[in-house]
Structure 1
Amino acid sequence: MLEDNLDAARPAEFVEALAKGLSILESFDSEHPEMTLSDVARRVGLSPAAARRSLITLQALGYVGQTNKRFHLRPKVMSLGSAFYFSARVDEILQPELRHLVGTFGDASSVATLEGHDVLYIAHYSEQRARRPTAVVGARYPAHATSLGRVLLAGLPDAEFDRYLREVEPVPLTKKTVVDKAALKDIIVEVRENNYSTTTDQLDYGITALAVPIRGAAGRPIAALNTSGYTGLVTAEELLEKRLQPLRASAARLASTLSRYPVLESIIGTR
């Protein structure tokens, strides 16, 4: 996991110990809420001795706790995410547009950026109550299986997208998930032409979504905005007919707002 998250071309000032610690924090998730030292070392790709040193440091700083021989995250970790939330002014800038879209159409709306092979949700608002993948702030899902991810992949330069296709191993999350790389490339080419993406039952059964890019001052997508509903209650065609133009208007307003705060564009924008 450590090597997957770190670029091979590292600057001379790269601090390996810091990278290891951050990778350990990222290794905890819903399927691994607590782990032994051996579990952590295996998940992160470190020796037990190196993992132990990092865990002890994180424990001393209050980010990691230990019960018997199993480690777990502590609430202080949330301060790292809240620092981004407030510095990016998510509640002030992004949430009003999401609430506007959900107030108009119902269902749910999100903003995400591209992080490696995944989309990372940085804002979300929903009136939905039923069980579905949780699009909370900080959630990550494979880019190939989401409308947000496909829009962001379409915004990559050709060389970066080709690198993505070489490196990624698409996972079939449903029987409808597109995992063939040639087919995925064709889809992304079409998304580039249309300047939007629709998905149905790609990430999970019951999710139909439409996404558009939020473009930065240079014209490249720095994030993506979507609206989604339940498959069966809404179709991709209906989303395009009723929601595409309002969604693009929201994305344009967000882009205009971000253009007035270059630091926010840098904070939010896809690297």
Structure 2
Amino acid sequence: MTLSKAAELTGLARATVRRILLTLKASGLVHGDDRLFSLTPRVLLLASSYLASNQINSVMQPLMDATATEAREVCSLAVLDGDEVVFIARATPTRMFSTGLEIGYRLPAFCTSVGRALLSRMPDDQLGEAIARMSVTAMTSTTVTDKQALLETIIAARSDGYSLVDGEAEHGFRSISVPIRRYDGGIVAAANIGGHVDRIGVDEMKERFLPLLQKLAATVQPLLV
């Protein structure tokens, strides 16, 4: 990545970005010259340290493994980071091949089932303000981009206790998510199961996968402090 691109993405002055990059370079996290910079494998130590120290991951992983095995589908866990969701854990069923979002992958919160489940933790007024500030760009032809409709959809998801998104983040892919709560009821993450529309119908999402996710959420809640 060029210095100019890094400054553009961060919104910082070029001189500030250059100082930061040189500091990261001295720490061994970045290599490059004054024009091009790239990450080194050492950054993986930071990621692995986060995952190892995150209580959610350590508690959730074995339960997600059991959920994925019973569902025979990938089960993923995400947290909210600004206007995006970041996937921090993933469980794959015991079979030869399966697809799913990798750990560290980011997606817009507004058009994903995990994102809407996480956004639903906000009170209505705070949620409305957050949506008003968001950059809402269609990811597919069915993405909800009307902000009032989006607000109503997330409020409905809060009432229902789950979020189902059908082809809004990726064409031909649907997923269902539930909020993951800690012992006091606060939402700290969201778990989902998804699949391609030609293989998994909406009814199956609700009838087969939703109970599994609800069981997962209920089991883990008293364990998260």
Q: Secondary structure at the match of 2:110?
A: helix
Flag structure 1 segments of 5+ consecutive residues without an equivalent. Answer: 1-34, 263-271
1:63 alignment partner in structure 2: 29
1:112 alignment partner in structure 2: 78
Q: Secondary structure at the match of 2:86?
A: strand
Shift of 1:91: 5.6
Mapped to 2, the partners of 1:147 and 1:52 lie a distance apart of: 38
Deviation string, structure 1 residues 147-176 (Cα, Å, up to 9, x no partner): 111111111122321221110121111111
RMSD of aligned residue pairs (Cα, Å): 1.9
Letter in structure 1 aligned against 2:222: S
User: Percent identity over the alignment?
Assistant: 32
8 A Cα contact 2:128 2:151, kept in partner = no
Pair 1:197-2:159 in alignment: no
Structure-2 change in CA distance of 1:93 and 1:216 (3 Å) = closer
Corresponding residue pairs, total: 223
Deviation string, structure 1 residues 219-239 (Cα, Å, up to 9, x no partner): 231111111121111112211
Mapped to 2, the partners of 1:91 and 1:208 lie a distance apart of: 24
Mapped to 2, the partners of 1:56 and 1:84 lie a distance apart of: 23
Letter in structure 2 aligned against 1:244: L
8 A Cα contact 2:3 2:36, kept in partner = yes
Pairing of 1:1-271 with structure 2 (within 5 A): 35-66=1-32, 69-89=35-55, 92-126=58-92, 129=97, 135-258=101-224, 262=225
Letter in structure 2 aligned against 1:105: A
8 A Cα contact 1:110 1:135, kept in partner = yes
Q: Secondary structure at the match of 1:69?
A: coil
Letter in structure 1 aligned against 2:151: K
8 A Cα contact 2:73 2:98, kept in partner = no
> TM-score scaled by structure 2?
0.91
Letter in structure 2 aligned against 1:96: P
Mapped to 2, the partners of 1:69 and 1:188 lie a distance apart of: 44
Structure-2 change in CA distance of 1:53 and 1:184 (3 Å) = same
Shift of 1:129: 4.7
**Structure 1 segments of 4 or more deviating over 6 A?**
none
Mapped to 2, the partners of 1:121 and 1:215 lie a distance apart of: 16
Mapped to 2, the partners of 1:129 and 1:185 lie a distance apart of: 37
Flag the structure with more relative contact order, 1 or 2, with Cα contacts below 8 A and sequence separation at least 6.
Answer: 2
Shift of 1:191: 0.6
Structure-2 change in CA distance of 1:219 and 1:68 (3 Å) = closer
Flag structure 2 segments of 5+ consecutive residues without an equivalent. Answer: none
Letter in structure 2 aligned against 1:60: A
Mapped to 1, the partners of 2:176 and 2:73 lie a distance apart of: 12
Mapped to 1, the partners of 2:12 and 2:143 lie a distance apart of: 33
Letter in structure 1 aligned against 2:86: L
Deviates more, 1:64-73 or 1:171-180: 64-73
